[in-house]
Amino acid sequence: MFQDEARFGRISDSRRCWCKKPLRPLVKAMLTHEYVYAYAAVSPLDGRLDSLVLPHVNALCMQLFIDEVASRYPVQNIIMVVDGAGWHKASHYT
């Protein structure tokens, strides 16, 4: 399986921007408030997709995702390919 995470949760707001006098236009500005993270893994052999939405990206949430995928395939050995993110390499939870 190949695994990755994606972050969701931005909102936009109107703010004033700099411009030549006498204009002070309002423009859309991106403000970050809260995020949720979608963890997903896909099997290239049969196209099965497993996903989980979690509040953080850290070693604990990564372990929750791995445990969930393992529970969905109780009799199969899974090789999961992950990228080099720090929470993929953690030796203990923080």
Q: What is the pLDDT of residues 46-89, one digit of tens each?
A: 999 999 999 998 889 999 999 999 999 999 999 999 988 877 76
Tell me the pTM. Answer: 0.71
pLDDT tens per residue across span 7-32:
888 766 766 677 778 877 777 776 66
Asked if residue 18 is part of any domain, the answer here is no
pLDDT exceeds 90 at position 40: yes
Asked if residue 94 is part of any domain, the answer here is no
Q: What is the DSSP letter of 26?
A: E
Check residue 9 and give its pLDDT: 82
Considering its fold, how many domains does the chain have in total? 1
Asked if residue 72 is part of any domain, the answer here is yes
Sheet holding 2-16, edge to edge: 2-16, 26-42, 49-54
For residue 67, the enclosing domain spans: 2-12+27-88
CA angle 52, 57, 62 (to 5 degrees): 60
Check residue 35 and give its pLDDT: 84
